[in-house]
Amino acid sequence: MPLSNLKFDNLALKQIWELSSVDIQIGRGKTARRAYGIDEIALSPGNRTLDPNLADTKWSIGNIEREIPIIASAMDGVVDVRMAVGLSKLGALGVLNLEGIQTRYENPEPILDRIASVGKDEFVGLMQQLYAEPIKPELITQRITEIKQQGGIAAVSATPAGASKFGSVVAAAGADLFFIQATVVSTAHLSPESIVPLDLATFCQEMPMPVALGNCVTYDVSLNLMKAGAAAVMVGIGPGAACTSRGVLGVGVPQATAISDCAAARDDFFRETGKYIPVIADGGLITGGDICKCIACGADGVMIGSPFARAAEAPGRGFHWGMATPSPVLPRGTRIRVATTGTLEQILRGPAGLDDGTHNLLGALKTSMGTLGAKNIKEMQQVEVVIAPSLLTEGKVYQKAQQLGMGK
């Protein structure tokens, strides 16, 4: 469906679409849409406020309901068995990377120590070496079992190729959620004759658990993924703190526009089928304010990596690296130092020990919803959005000069 024919149930979606729908001439042979990033927008209060304790942040993926609409990314410096269990018990969700360190090594601790200790010039080569170790199906089973035995939700992630190869192992192990993720996923992937691509629709239909698909940034692709049977759709190409895809490939759409486009597809799909497929904003989010703005743009939940990599319980030892970092052919991620700033509970539920919006993410969401008068996630998606490139700098001269608060 052309975007010009869309019907909008969401005020924020309509605002962003109107602002980004005007073509700008790059040259005589090329025009472009204006796209907006999360840092370029702000949320405008309406006529009502409410006590933050009344804000209901619950959401669902498939048959799994969570209190907190925040997912920890499937990155080796962010989620291991311990983190997955901890996030589950705190009301959120953590996704384990099935093609990472945890399923290549019986004891990943010495490997993680090596990643944390190597210099930045030797890092890429070391990663390519460490990730050349074969994935062991028995470790996939073991990690899923360990999460479930400790009372956690076993959410796991693989690339389309990994899902094709290990899907039966994941199903037999009893995983609760399966995320299929790549830089870009589509239902119209062309492969050489010698390679049979994963049929996403068949895979979603045959797997015994909900399957989330991503990543994408456009209305058409997200709609096609929903039609293929996705239990959720991940939105975002390259905004992550440790991701270099935008620089390496030149590919991506700023998150505010990408989320609103994909959320419009969700709303149209719901009108046509009666099935509501959540949209997950994936990447580029650091603070509670970032999360709030994503939901206001139409997201049902968010997936974040670097904020959780800063937890004392995180496996990365104060470092964070992208999923495509160890590619043997074209690395599209790097390792960044995020340091350790608090416990997982402090970061997710508080009390905050920092003043820059990176602690108590749930509290930030509830307080923002109270300020905006939004009783639940659906109402939060309806709040007014304004274009405000000066939002984070206006009046913050002293914070910036002294590197305090928002000036860090």
Q: Which residue in 34, 48, 271, 337 is the catalytic one?
A: 337
Contacts of 109 (CB under 8 A, 6+ apart): none
Q: Spot the catalytic one: 204, 216, 243, 262.
A: 243
Cα–Cα distance for residue pair 405/407, rounded to 1 Å? 5
Cβ–Cβ contacts within 10 Å for residue 173, how many? 20
Whether 104 is catalytic is no
The angle that helices 137-149 and 160-173 make with each other, rounded to 10 degrees, is: 50
Question: Does the active-site annotation cover 337?
Answer: yes
Active site amino acids: 243, 337
